Amino acid sequence: MPSLLELQRVMCESLLDEATGANDAALQHIVASGFAPAQRLSIHRNTIQGTLARALGLSYPAVRWIVGVELFDCVAQRFMRLHAPHCADLNAYGGEFADFLQCLEHAAAIAYLADVARLEWAVNRALHAPQVPALDLSQLAALVSDDHDRIRFAAHPSLSLLHSDYPIDAIWRAVLQRDDTAMAAIDLADGPVDLLVRRRVDEIEVLRLVEPEWRFALALVDGQPLGAALGAQPNSQAPEWLARHLAEGNFISFYLRAGEP
């Protein structure tokens, strides 16, 4: 008699994979009641696979349009066999899809596809990120000047930073707007682009940053001390960039690591 965990694993493999061996392993644990075990398994498999494919399609609408519905569904089937959901929230499903596309031979002909998927996942994260208040700037004002260089910020959960060799923001917008003229006018050589994605009160923003500002923001998001991030930017605009990030609520908290000089 298999344990509950073993039974769950067998069922998961069977529901996400139509290989005969996996089916046989699950069928012996299914009771025939109105339908044969194979029919009952097929009903659940179709429901689960269809649900996961729709979830991926909602998270990656531009990718789905670029490759076409039929190919996208085939790729989704392959993806879900390797990446089962880890929680019941389908908005959190599919974070590995861009890396999967990057390694997929059939997607190699569309060089920018994986990066468009990364942008779409950042948009999805921003859309579904928890509501968290921005950093109270009065807390920063209360610090003594000797602590300023040791500040490490925590980014808002809706914020992502992306780099691509291609103008993926222009591609993404043109695809979602079904603007064939805009799509035809895109020059892939117009990259690279450095993007900031975040949720504002009533919209998701996808913004291009100049490369030095993007690297400065990346250093702060990665948790580097403020002094080090400023020191790595000889550009005199860095304090202005910091002020704008703080004013726009891109950080939610800060801390001072004990023992740092």
DSSP-assigned letter for residue 164: E
Domain boundary among 110, 143, 176: 110
194 in helix, strand or coil?
strand
- pTM for the predicted model, two decimal places: 0.85
162 with 103, same domain? no
Domain boundary among 80, 110, 140: 110
User: Which carries the bigger pLDDT value, residue 18 or residue 57?
Assistant: 57
pLDDT of amino acid 45: 72
Domain boundary among 60, 76, 110: 110
238 with 144, same domain? yes
- Overall number of domains in the chain: 2
Q: Six-digit token pair at 210?
A: 């100049």
Which range marks the domain in which residue 253 is found? 132-261
51 with 143, same domain? no
* Gap between the Cα atoms of 9 and 29, Å rounded: 12
Residue with tokens 């392959």: 78
The answer to whether position 201 is within a domain reads yes
DSSP-assigned letter for residue 35: S
80 with 139, same domain? no
pLDDT of amino acid 142: 87
The answer to whether position 81 is within a domain reads yes
153 with 255, same domain? yes
Per the DSSP assignment, residues forming a β-bridge with 21 are none
Q: What is the pLDDT of residues 150-194, one digit of tens each?
A: 999 999 999 999 999 999 999 999 999 999 999 999 999 998 999
* Gap between the Cα atoms of 88 and 72, Å rounded: 23
Q: What is the pLDDT of residues 91-134, one digit of tens each?
A: 999 999 999 999 988 778 899 999 999 999 999 999 999 999 99
Closest CA to 152 of 61, 71, 230, 36: 230
Mean pLDDT of 53-77: 94
Handedness of CA 82, 84, 86, 89 (dihedral sign): positive
